[in-house]
């Protein structure tokens, strides 16, 4: 799967998702928050997959593991 596909697909439907969230929550601010949170959850697996294939201190911090250069030698 193309790494940018989830984000592009999500953005194509953002207005509809915002409208549905607004009808459910009754507040534009809450709807925007819900849509942004959902976007983060949609894109997160792609980012974590990329970082998992490119280990390093920044990737480890984002994934939540302690990075050690020695751990790659085992």
The pLDDT of 2-16, averaged and rounded, is: 81
| pTM reported for the whole predicted model | 0.59
Say how many domains are in the chain: 1
- What is the reported pLDDT for 2? 57
| Structural domain boundaries enclosing 57 | 5-72
| Token digits of residue 58 | 């920044």
| Token digits of residue 27 | 């507040």
The tens digit of pLDDT for each residue in 24-47 reads 999 999 999 999 988 888 777 776
As a whole-number percent, the residues of the chain with pLDDT over 70 amount to 58
For residues 18 and 27, what is the distance between their CA atoms, to the nearest angstrom?
10
- What is the reported pLDDT for 28? 95
């Amino acid at each position: 799967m193309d790494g940018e596909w989830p984000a592009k697909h999500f953005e194509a439907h953002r207005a509809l998702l915002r409208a549905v969230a607004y009808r459910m929550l009754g507040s534009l601010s809450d709807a925007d928050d819900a849509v942004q949170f959902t976007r983060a959850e949609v894109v997160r697996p792609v980012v974590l997959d990329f970082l998992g294939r490119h280990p390093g201190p920044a990737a480890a911090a984002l994934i939540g593991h302690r990075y050690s250069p020695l751990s790659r030698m085992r």
